Amino acid sequence: MNYTTPPLDPTDPSGTDLTLDSNGDLVITTQGDISTSTNNDNIKQMIRVRIGTIPDTYIFGDDLGSELGTTIDEPLNPTNIALIQQYVSDALSVDPRVQQINSINVTDPNDGTMRFFVSVNVTVAGYGDVSTTVPIGGGTY
């Protein structure tokens, strides 16, 4: 079984997952429990994890990740922006919850941080539209 493509549950279309912080570490509640993400938060986390993971580094499946790492140190010109958009689309389209990718925008803050932002809007089966922005590079995830 490939754990990176969860089956759709009509009672929980966005899925439920363990909550990860911006570094990819588990979030522990003040009561000492492992936090879970549902609904909008889980879809946003799925987007962040799918595009921020290096392909073939997830031991439970081989369809998680994007090739965004190949764009490091490359200028954000129209050709590379189109390539980034394709990498993000490829990474998200394998998730069965994603019915449609409505938009993928790449923004360069030009602030010397060596990072850019990917803003995504997707339609999730049985849930609706979800938008999020993910920082790429610059030492943050």
Q: Is 6 among the domain residues?
A: no
Work out the pLDDT band at 61, boundaries 50, 70, 90. low
User: What per-residue confidence (pLDDT) applies to 7?
Assistant: 58
Work out the pLDDT band at 92, boundaries 50, 70, 90. very high
User: What per-residue confidence (pLDDT) applies to 39?
Assistant: 87
Listing DSSP states for 36-96 in one string gives EEEHHHHHHHHHHHHHHSPTT--TT-SS---SGGGGTT----HHHHHHHHHHHHHHHHTST
User: What per-residue confidence (pLDDT) applies to 140?
Assistant: 47
Determine the residue type at 72. I
pLDDT digits (tens, 9 = 90+) for 14-37: 778 888 888 888 999 999 999 988
Work out the pLDDT band at 4, boundaries 50, 70, 90. low
pLDDT, greater one: 140 or 36:
36
Q: Is 1 among the domain residues?
A: no
The total number of residues shown for the chain amounts to: 141
Q: Is 3 among the domain residues?
A: no
User: What per-residue confidence (pLDDT) applies to 1?
Assistant: 36
Q: Is 11 among the domain residues?
A: no
User: Total domain count for the chain?
Assistant: 1
Q: Is 28 among the domain residues?
A: yes
Q: Is 4 among the domain residues?
A: no
User: What per-residue confidence (pLDDT) applies to 137?
Assistant: 82
pTM, full prediction: 0.81
Q: Is 9 among the domain residues?
A: no
Domain that holds residue 37: 16-137
CATH number at residue 80: 3.10.450.40
